[in-house]
């Protein structure tokens, strides 16, 4: 406090407000702790508990109202919305409790932000990727994707990590997008039983393969080696008949999905009808059957097509070609008997 007097200025010391509110326990003054700080800590704890309790009640209400499976898009978006709202309320509430108009926190906040940005750069990257995934329709819960070298179905999407139910992959598909082919014992697109956690930040560094979004179908191929002396037309007819019996043919849903793809992306024309392509090799004629299948259940479809083709080939008397070698000549052979005049002892 400063008092103005005639002829001079008289300064009188005043105890600091914080020191007057210092907390003492058994005669020991706690440095940096005051009654105001204790009240703020109490309000912060109450706020956190209240937000967590309200979020739990809201999630229970969502499960009760919507029901359905865990992978239901409605439940997923409701859960994500509750998490975002809870995080925003907590941040704003804590900021309002601890930062007052009289508090000069610009320098402290700047240094703290710089330190957190350096120390938690991977966390911030994954958090930013979370919003990119939601906003960019990259993938969602229930989609079948290949992300960070892991192939499978997305079963959970969090702020920082994505959980994938891993599936196997046919050897012909090659290694994953990251170049590493993790050890697996299921050589098909079926579950291995392993849950794999991938950080969301990989979407900025690696491509994301989505088997489901926009066009939930795949083009598959089965290669059949046929001898040149066999009835090639009959073999082609057997392949096409098996594809029409088990693959996706004349499906309005597939045609509508392809039409939506054409309106949304600049893609070339694609045929949904099964087709057989011939290729000449040194030993046989390779017939490749191309057909459309749903994004799930591919192995069952290929199994049914293969069984029907083999049965038809057996009935038609057409064999499957294999690598052969022709021996065009042999060197002269000479057999010599050992001499009989001397015996070895």
DSSP labels, 61-115? HHHHHH-S-TT-HHHHHHHHHHHHHHHHHHHHHHHHHH--TT---HHHHHHHHHH
- Provide the residue ranges of all domains of the chain, joining segments of one domain with +: 1-103, 105-174+186-213, 217-316
Please name the fold of domain 105-174+186-213. Answer: SH3 type barrels. (2.30.30)
d(CA 102, CA 1): 18
Contact yes or no for 17/102 (Cβ under 8 A): no
Separation in Å, CA 220 to CA 67, 290, 336: 36, 6, 61
Measured between its terminal Cα atoms, the distance across the chain in Å is: 129
The number of residues making up the chain comes to 345
Residue by residue, pLDDT tens for the chain (345 residues) are 444 444 554 454 444 444 445 656 655 565 556 667 777 778 888 888 988 888 888 888 887 887 666 666 777 777 778 877 888 888 778 777 766 665 555 544 654 565 556 556 777 888 888 888 888 778 888 899 999 888 999 998 888 899 999 988 776 555 555 554 556 678 788 888 899 999 998 999 889 999 888 889 999 999 999 999 999 999 999 999 999 999 999 999 999 999 988 888 888 888 899 999 999 998 899 999 999 999 888 999 999 999 999 999 999 999 998 876 666 666 777 777 777 665 555
CATH architecture of 217-316: 2-Layer Sandwich (3.30)
How many other CB atoms are there within 10 angstroms of residue 67's CB atom? 10
d(CA 130, CA 200): 6
């Amino acid at each position: 406090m400063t008092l103005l007097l005639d002829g001079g200025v008289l300064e009188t010391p005043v105890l600091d407000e914080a020191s007057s509110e210092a907390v003492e326990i058994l005669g020991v003054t706690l440095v940096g702790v005051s009654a105001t700080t204790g009240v703020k800590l109490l309000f912060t704890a109450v706020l956190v508990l209240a937000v967590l309790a309200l979020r739990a009640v809201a999630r229970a209400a969502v499960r009760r109202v919507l029901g359905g499976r865990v992978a239901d898009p409605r439940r997923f978006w409701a859960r994500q919305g509750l998490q975002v709202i809870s995080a925003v309320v907590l941040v704003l509430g804590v900021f309002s409790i601890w930062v007052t108009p009289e508090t000069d926190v610009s320098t402290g906040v700047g240094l703290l932000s710089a330190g957190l940005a350096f120390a938690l750069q991977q966390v911030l990257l994954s958090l930013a990727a979370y919003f990119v995934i939601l906003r960019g329709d990259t993938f969602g819960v229930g989609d079948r994707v290949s992300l960070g070298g892991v192939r499978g179905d997305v079963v959970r999407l969090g702020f920082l990590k994505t959980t994938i139910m891993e599936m196997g992959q046919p050897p012909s598909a090659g290694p994953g997008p990251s170049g590493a082919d993790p050890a697996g014992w299921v050589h098909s697109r079926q579950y291995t039983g392993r849950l794999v956690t991938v950080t969301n930040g990989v979407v900025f560094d690696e491509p994301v393969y989505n088997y489901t979004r926009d066009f939930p179908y795949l083009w598959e191929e089965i290669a059949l080696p046929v001898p040149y002396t066999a009835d090639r037309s009959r073999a082609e007819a057997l392949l096409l008949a098996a594809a029409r019996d088990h693959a996706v043919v004349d499906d309005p849903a597939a045609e509508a999905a392809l039409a939506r793809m054409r309106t949304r992306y600049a893609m070339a024309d694609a045929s949904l009808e099964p087709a057989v392509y011939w290729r000449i090799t040194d030993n046989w004629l390779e017939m490749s059957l191309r057909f459309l299948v749903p994004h799930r259940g591919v192995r069952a479809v290929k199994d049914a097509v293969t069984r029907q083709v083999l049965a038809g080939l057996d009935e038609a008397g057409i064999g499957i070609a294999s690598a052969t070698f022709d021996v065009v000549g042999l060197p002269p052979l000479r057999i010599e008997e050992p001499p009989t005049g001397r015996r070895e002892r």
